[in-house]
A and B are shown apart, each in its own frame.
Chain A
Amino acid sequence: MKLLKSFGLALFIIGFGLFNFSFFWASYQITPDVIHTQISDKKKSELLIHESSSMLNQQFNSNFKFVDELHSAFDRVNQSQVNAFGISAQELDQLVASNSEKFSIASVDSVFKGSDETAAFKQKAFRDYGSWLDGQPTQRAQLQQVADNIRQYGIVSQFGFDRYSIKDLTYSLTKASAISPVKNNPLLYLLLTIGLCVVGALIYIFPKLQLAPGIKNNGIFFNAMKNVKWLGILTGSWLIAFYVVLYFYPEYMTNWVLLVDPVSKMLSGNEAGRFFLYGFIYTLCILVMGVRMIINYRHSKYQILRTCSVMFFQTAFAFLIPEIMIRLNQPYFDFKNIWPLDYSFFFNNRLDTLLANGGLGIFMLVWGIALIIIGVPVFVYFFGKRWYCSWVCGCGGLAETLGDPYRQLSDKSVKAWKAERWIIHSVLVFAVVMTVGVLYTYFTNNSWVLFFDSYKLREIYGAFIGAGFAGVVGTGFYPLMGNRTWCRFGCPLAAYLGIIQRFKSRFRITTNGGQCISCGNCSTYCEMGIDVRWYAQRGQNIVRSSCVGCGVCSSVCPRGVLNLEVKEEDGRFGKPILIGNNHIELVE
């Protein structure tokens, strides 16, 4: 058994090592062909080919160097376009000269005359950017400002590459320019990296079947991985780095994306994107670690069913069905994702896609909205928020499987509870305000709402909450702050589900009379940081908005004190009294 475990671990380490190695294992050579296929605008692609001529015949061994060179090529294109289309000091002098006192916008036409592209652009741009100067006293500084704005915003997006397209193109050009063994034989390397990890992990996990069914918490607080020791910190750092690259620097991980190209082509017919890679690894984590969870808790049917449920919903609903929808030329849609966790549900591009897809698109839209306004309250009333958070949700699914080894790391202090309520409800408010703004813009075409720009706000939400909080902190901090950091402190849907669970639900955790011995297992293993013992030792039901109903408190209780129950609402909150003693009166 020990031998088998070590063998599994060795396989996993080899696979994981190769996976990390493959991150760097490529050289890059860009060709005019590649540039033409990735940039459809002929003029722009020619410009880039021109400016990257120094790169064209060169093979780069480092993706960092390659990306650097590519970025400077983009910069050179932008610079040369600014030089070509920018308004010169001389032209400004002419403008000042022809408007001796007051500025008249009509004077623009006389300064920028001619029928060539440059003059036409300058004329139009100055009229657009400088219309507010019409009738004002002429000041050279103001004219200069207009010219600068044109350089910065107008020219770059029209004739060059703005920062969004640079981001996208760097990624796609790098991926297309890669020359690597991985690219030549992705399937082989997929098996040698991720495949080996999966097989190794399973071989490591399966021998646990030989242990008797029951709680398997021996040695957790001596373990370097599960107790914020070196291995845990290392793992956390790796995860954080992975998320930062995934969300903010995807151009460096193209070699990893190449690994899963064949899988993506098989499913949707398209080349893999970075989020396909992410979804693929994510699903495998839930499946492999789900097997571990089931083996660990195989004495509890509740835990077995719950784990099977998250494994199913991730594999079918989050991973396979959306890819198949794409193969069938339908919109990508995850039927179990609910706004505001799915914060982009009401974004104009998604609404447009759904509305453009006829009956099915409309159905998806109605389905999504029905989940928000009917599904959530009705199911929470009958089952508690667990129906979503620990049975269906993808974030919950990862937390309950990959994250299970870290559940004991959540902070149980009253201080943490206070912080939790402030933070999570702020995120909910943020999500609602952002979405209202986005919808306002959708219907009115006006991006300015009251005092904010709805485009800017959605960008901030996406970067700080969607990527930063949910991804980098939410999963990267598993080994540091426990497996539900996002669900507890950040998820706006959890906040919404929680408000209903707290005030209108049949769900509660019941405590069994006077049987609690205050041992602390329940509180320690509560991933949401609820001090379960506080209630159990005074004989009070646990009715907390954050409880995701994972049922582990009940599983680890050595005296059979805790039980997740749905019953009539009466007496749900219950009096804090321990039964078994005569003549005791309750004093609050």
Chain B
Amino acid sequence: MKHIVIIGNGISGITAARHIRKRSNHKITIISGESEYFFSRTALMYVYMGHLKFDHTKPYENNFWKKNKIELVFDWVDKVESTTKSLTLRMKGTIQYDTLIIASGAKPNRFGWPGKDLKGVQGLYHKQDLELMEQNTKGVQHAVLVGGGLIGVEMAEMLLSRNISVTFLVRENAFWSNVLPLQEANLISRHIRSHHVDLRFENELKEIKGDSNGRVQSIVTKSGEEIACQFVGVTVGVSPNISFLKDSGIATARGVLVNEFLETNVPDVYALGDCAERTYELPGRRSIEQVWYTGRMMGEIVAQTICGTKTKYEPGPWFNSAKFFDIEYQTYGQVGNELKAHESEFYWEHSSGTKCVHVIWNTMTREFIGINTFGIRMRHEKFDTWLRAKKSVDFVIEHLAEANFDPEFFTRYEKEIMLQFNEKAVLAH
């Protein structure tokens, strides 16, 4: 029986623990200073908006961990010593491990803007950020958000739910356009504006100004405009949370460096989730993937490896999802923000301007490469199967109705999509 210690109780660390428990009798300890129990990070926004209480974000009842003999330690790890296989905790002394899993997540980026440390300036990742935001937004009239990604739009929605008006500064020419093709980026931009967000493109933050109490008072954009505000949300991405690994002997770059088995350079030490940086290539994927689903998959893999079945981290076809105010988004396969040389595309948008489907395929072989869908739910299982089987785009369009996952009685658009697709195909010939 080994003692397996996991740093971090997010989705990747928790998944690893649960799967190790299913497969073995090892002693498992999870250390987190962020929260006593596992909660869903993606649900923090709903707590602020009053949709949920914090307790609702906990996927397992509190007695689940004891029942499954998973020990929880509520503390921060200050130091890791891989030579002696020991951890130094902030309050509760040292802990010895046989196997260490680092799943310490990430922290919000903050670039070197003047005034970035003023009161009322913050990012959103940890539970503590949520608590801070609760305090920081008390009595606030207007807020500015910087950075056009998923957390930015979440923050906009959160602030609006408390009747705080929002100016949203985005560096690019459309919302999330480093990920979304322009058509979708425009659709979502329109939707964000329809919720009365003052969305400004090609605009960057230059400086944050404070008042005499050290609280944010206004921001100045690169174009020189000054906008009065009492809260600034900084949502320009996150980076691995690994500062406690300094001098541990564990190799890091931007994140903890891992091979295909999620092993670090030190034996018996693994890293996964938002803090892990892959040293090997996976086609079409970034070396650090800060997504719920990849964190979970890495947890499943590392558990298998630790329990004796050495397994490579080779996730299946890419998938992801999000919700922007009232519009749901799902993606399967690879849809880049720009069409690649060998790719063709088909884009359908509903007349309401709130639903669309964007399909990408290989021009020569007609192999289906990926799909983005907004406002229409699709079946993961179908696309997973079709992508693995390398189905043609014609097959996918023809069978699109089978992939529909919208509730009963919802209007179906597959016929319209198919007609338009065929029309365009004829035109192309």
Binding site for B on A (CB under 8 A): 212-215, 217-223, 299-302, 305, 413-414, 510, 512-515, 517-521, 523-524, 533-534, 537, 551, 554-556, 558-560, 563-564, 578-585, 587-588
Produce 1/0 per residue, B292-335, CB < 8 A to A. 11001100110010000101101111010111011010100000
Q: A219-B49, A515-B319 are in contact. Are A580 and B293 (CB under 8 A)?
A: yes
Alpha-carbon distance A578/B293, docked complex (angstroms): 10
Q: A299-B326, A518-B11, A582-B314 are in contact. Are A413 and B377 (CB under 8 A)?
A: no
Q: A512-B379, A580-B384, A581-B297 are in contact. Are A214 and B315 (CB under 8 A)?
A: no
Q: Which of B328, B384, B405, B410 has the most CB of A within 10 A?
A: B405
Can you sample 12 A-B contacts with CB below 8 Å? A217-B49, A218-B51, A301-B407, A301-B411, A513-B380, A520-B59, A521-B43, A534-B59, A558-B328, A560-B405, A581-B315, A588-B22
The range of chain B's interface size is 35 or more
Q: Report chain B residues within 8 Å CB of A555.
A: 407
* Cβ 8 A contact of A579, one of B304, B325, B328, B381: B381
B222 contacts A by Cβ under 8 Å: no
A514 touches B293 (CB 8 A): yes
Binding site for A on B (CB under 8 A): 11, 19, 22-23, 40, 42-43, 46, 49-53, 56-59, 61, 161, 194-195, 292-293, 296-297, 300-301, 304, 309, 311-312, 314-317, 319, 321-323, 325-326, 328, 330, 377-381, 384, 405-411
Q: Report chain A residues within 8 Å CB of B380.
A: 512-515, 579-580
B194 touches A564 (CB 8 A): no
* Cβ 8 A contact of A217, one of B51, B296, B314, B316: B51
- Write the nearest CB–CB distance from B186 to chain A, whole angstroms: 18
Alpha-carbon distance A476/B22, docked complex (angstroms): 44
Residue of B nearest to A537 (CB): B59
Apart from A301-B411, A513-B381, 10 more pairs, CB < 8 Å:
A217-B46, A219-B161, A513-B380, A514-B319, A520-B56, A521-B46, A534-B59, A581-B301, A583-B301, A584-B301
* Cβ 8 A contact of B407, one of A223, A564, A587: A564
- Write the nearest CB–CB distance from B141 to chain A, whole angstroms: 17
Q: Which of A302, A413, A519 has the most CB of B within 10 A?
A: A519
Alpha-carbon distance A560/B403, docked complex (angstroms): 13
Q: For the complex of A and B, list the 8 residue pairs with the smallest distance between their C-beta atoms, beginning with the closest.
A: A513-B380, A214-B326, A560-B377, A519-B43, A558-B323, A219-B50, A301-B409, A581-B297
Q: Report chain B residues within 8 Å CB of A215.
A: 51, 326
Q: Report chain B residues within 8 Å CB of A556.
A: 51
Residue of B nearest to A559 (CB): B321
Residue of A nearest to B41 (CB): A517
Q: Report chain A residues within 8 Å CB of B328.
A: 558-560
Q: Which of B58, B314, B378, B408 has the most CB of A within 10 A?
A: B408
Alpha-carbon distance A156/B405, docked complex (angstroms): 68
Q: Report chain A residues within 8 Å CB of B311.
A: 583-584
Q: A520-B43, A560-B328 are in contact. Are A581 and B317 (CB under 8 A)?
A: no
Q: Report chain B residues within 8 Å CB of A587.
A: 19, 22-23
Alpha-carbon distance A3/B280, docked complex (angstroms): 61
Alpha-carbon distance A490/B292, docked complex (angstroms): 40
Q: Report chain A residues within 8 Å CB of B43.
A: 517-521
Alpha-carbon distance A573/B224, docked complex (angstroms): 61
Alpha-carbon distance A564/B409, docked complex (angstroms): 11
Q: Which of A559, A563, A580 has the most CB of B within 10 A?
A: A580
B42 touches A551 (CB 8 A): no
Q: Report chain A residues within 8 Å CB of B301.
A: 581, 583-584
Q: Report chain A residues within 8 Å CB of B56.
A: 520, 523-524
- Write the nearest CB–CB distance from A588 to chain B, whole angstroms: 8
B316 touches A517 (CB 8 A): no
Q: Report chain A residues within 8 Å CB of B296.
A: 514, 578
- Write the nearest CB–CB distance from B322 to chain A, whole angstroms: 8
- Write the nearest CB–CB distance from A229 to chain B, whole angstroms: 12
Q: Report chain B residues within 8 Å CB of A300.
A: 407, 410
- Write the nearest CB–CB distance from A294 to chain B, whole angstroms: 14
Q: Report chain B residues within 8 Å CB of A213.
A: 326
A524 touches B51 (CB 8 A): yes
B407 touches A519 (CB 8 A): no
Residue of A nearest to B293 (CB): A514
Alpha-carbon distance A218/B48, docked complex (angstroms): 9
Q: Report chain A residues within 8 Å CB of B161.
A: 218-219
* Cβ 8 A contact of A585, one of B304, B321, B330, B407: B304
Alpha-carbon distance A56/B155, docked complex (angstroms): 72
- Write the nearest CB–CB distance from B387 to chain A, whole angstroms: 10
Alpha-carbon distance A578/B42, docked complex (angstroms): 18
* Cβ 8 A contact of B52, one of A212, A520, A579: A520
Alpha-carbon distance A555/B407, docked complex (angstroms): 8
B330 touches A515 (CB 8 A): yes
Residue of A nearest to B378 (CB): A560
Residue of B nearest to A519 (CB): B43
Residue of A nearest to B158 (CB): A218
Residue of B nearest to A306 (CB): B409
- Write the nearest CB–CB distance from A393 to chain B, whole angstroms: 19
B407 touches A518 (CB 8 A): no
Alpha-carbon distance A220/B380, docked complex (angstroms): 31
- Write the nearest CB–CB distance from A551 to chain B, whole angstroms: 6
- Write the nearest CB–CB distance from A497 to chain B, whole angstroms: 19
- Write the nearest CB–CB distance from A391 to chain B, whole angstroms: 12
Residue of B nearest to A536 (CB): B59
Q: A218-B161, A580-B316, A581-B315 are in contact. Are A212 and B46 (CB under 8 A)?
A: no
